[in-house]
Structure 1
């Protein structure tokens, strides 16, 4: 099947099912917190009763477009029971049943940025926070097999945290990279080599992309979809797909092997070049 035809079919399916959000099926075995459900080609999108239907529909359509080129990635995610949780604007990360028991990272956690590690024991640092305080301040979305995202970011509410970049695109790309580890080990290894090379070349200085290989892939995914904040390396700007291609062609061509086009139609931030209210690190 040609990719354009597949996109048309997904679009038609989305339109037909847009009015058919319902309760999560019992077969998912979810907590009763979840009251709303739609399906992204085998990947459940769920929320409490507080999230608007539109947020679930947008999340579903973003996920479908990100996977349109790689049915093997989709199949792997389905096999591993991947799903997406949509927080209402009034909800926090630890309101989600899957996150309620999460513990804050220890000071030797490799995911911490240098600044977080340096300030860990200082007033206001991670050591001074409860587990719930840390995670609720930390993010409006998290990656992994169970990916979370937030209403206000999906629908583009001006003035909200992370306005200007699509956090679901970032977080779900972590899930995609994890799937590549299973279904395309060659590409997965190439991503690691590309990251090591970029780090050795001094690329992305001061940018979250260089923190770990997972963030290298996730930030790159956002730039691929023209849905990230701008980054300057000296006078060199990176925000558009073409700018990413010129700055880090190796990463660009790796992304090209996973994603179809640059314009995800459900992404409200595409090509807007907006400046966010806050520039916190993302998960």
Structure 2
């Protein structure tokens, strides 16, 4: 497995071609010998294996620049906390990444996540190439997983340094929102961290459409009306500028100049890694009523069980209003 990296500068209009990593930089960041590319400019590390396209690295860098435009203080804090963005190739999975390789059970995390937020103890925020560029088969085609996970990283590794009062104020806003009955039966109600990340997605007009885990508050305008306190926190951090996230395939050409030769019709299809089901495969299902596990008997009905999991892993149950299967373990 080989890795490449690119630096983010702010403001960011595009991303230069990756180059070889200077020995000085490799030593300073204690980079694994598998890392082999970099863009030597001031900013935040964006890394990916040799399987990851330059466009995926450039897109992640571009989003960082858009989200934190004007917030060099947050970028500086994250850089000093050794935060890096890790992009997974479409053929790679969470535990393939060095920073996430110790997560157990492996199969759980490889089915559970196509991106994780950074923490001070593990300062790597990850995302999947397929979601960044819009491959067919993307498990999350209606939202940017990177916007969500980078929001977690900003909270946990940036604002924690630049504004020690932020987390306390966020917790208070979350508690007040739950007390008022806001975000009922949504992912945002999980805890104050998810409340923040989901709010940031809405701030950038990027939250998923109405489904088992989301209500209809998916834009900045609606967030301002629905949850004033959360909207004010987003405004405080990001400002109230004009930039909104849009998928590369429908984005204005001037906003995808950093994507060289980008053709959405020529992109490959994302597919989950084929692994044996086992005799008693288990699925975790998230619903508007809570999470629950189901266990199938592959011996009793092998064809039916195989068909069910194949459809599930291709995203066949992701868009339901009342439930969706997210991942499974053997």
Quick one: distance in 2 between partners of 1:89 and 1:232? 25
What is residue 220 of structure 1 aligned with on the other side? Answer: 199
Q: Which residue is 1:132 aligned to?
A: 106
Residues 162-241 of structure 1 aligned to structure 2 (within 5 Å): 162-178=140-156, 179-231=158-210, 237-241=216-220
Post-superposition offset of 1:39: 6.5
Tell me if the contact between 2:11 and 2:70 (Cα under 8 Å) persists in the aligned partners: no
Give yes or no for contact 2:224–2:231 (8 Å, CA) kept in 1: yes
Query: 30-39 vs 53-62, which deviates more?
Result: 30-39
Asked whether the 8 Å contact 2:94–2:115 carries over to 1, the reply is yes
Cα contact 1:21–1:38 (8 A) shared by 2: yes
Residue 22 in structure 1 maps to residue 13 in structure 2: no
- Contact (CA 8 Å) 1:73, 1:176: kept in 2 or not? yes
Local SS of the residue matching 1:185:
coil
Q: Which 5+ residue runs of structure 1 have no aligned equivalent? A: 1-7, 104-130
The TM-score, its normalising length taken from structure 2, stands at 0.66
Residues 59 and 168 in structure 1, CA contact (< 8 A), matched pair in contact too: yes
Name 2:117's counterpart in structure 1. Answer: 143
| Cα RMSD (Å) | 2.7
- What does the per-residue CA deviation read over 1:40-59, in whole Å, with 9 as the maximum and x for residues that have no partner? 84211011110000000000
Retained in 1: the 8 A contact 2:10–2:65?
no
Residues 65-104 of structure 1 aligned to structure 2 (within 5 Å):
65-103=66-104
Moved segments of 4+, more than 6 Å: none
The CA deviation at 1:266 is 7.2
Distance 1:209 1:228, change over 3 A: same
Q: Name the structure 1 match of 2:257.
A: none
Alpha-carbon contact 2:116-2:127 (below 8 Å) kept: yes
Q: In structure 1, what is the Cα distance between the partners aligned to 2:110 and 2:208?
A: 22
Instruction: After TM superposition, give the deviation of residue 147 of structure 1 in Å.
Output: 0.3
Q: Distance in 1 between matches of 2:185 and 2:10?
A: 42
* Contact 1:51–1:87 (CA under 8 A) maintained in structure 2: yes
Question: Is the partner of 1:141 in helix, strand or coil?
Answer: coil
Q: Which residue in the other structure is 2:294 paired with?
A: none
Given the superposition, is the C-alpha separation of residues 38 and 170 from structure 1 closer, same or farther in structure 2, using an over 3 Å criterion? Answer: farther
Decide whether aligned partners of structure 1 residues 232 and 159 sit closer, same or farther in structure 2, where only a CA change above 3 A counts. Answer: closer
- Mark the structure with the bigger radius of gyration: 2
1:140 Cα deviation (Å)? Answer: 0.4
- Partner of residue 263 from structure 1, selected from 243, 247, 254: 243
* Secondary structure of the corresponding residue to residue 35 of structure 2: coil
1:51 aligns with 2:52: yes
Secondary structure at 1:37's aligned position in 2?
coil
Given the superposition, is the C-alpha separation of residues 237 and 164 from structure 1 closer, same or farther in structure 2, using an over 3 Å criterion?
A: closer
Q: Which has the higher helix share?
A: 1
Q: Do 2:77 and 2:161's aligned partners in 1 also have CA atoms closer than 8 Å?
A: yes
In the TM superposition, residue 182 of structure 1 has moved relative to its aligned partner by 2.1
- In structure 2, do the counterparts of structure 1 residues 9 and 37 end up closer, same or farther at CA, with 3 Å as the change threshold? closer
Structure with more contact order per residue of length (Cα contacts < 8 Å, sep ≥ 6): 1
**In the comparison of the two structures, how many residue pairs are matched?**
238
Question: Does the CA-based 8 Å contact 1:86-1:151 persist in structure 2?
Answer: yes
Greater mean deviation of Cα atoms: 188-197 or 135-144: 188-197
TM-score, normalized by length of structure 1?
Answer: 0.76
Q: How many angstroms apart in 1 are the aligned matches of 2:51 and 2:209? A: 32
Per-residue deviation, 1:98: 1.2
Task: Give the whole-Å Cα distance in 2 for the aligned partners of 1:168 and 1:270.
Answer: 17
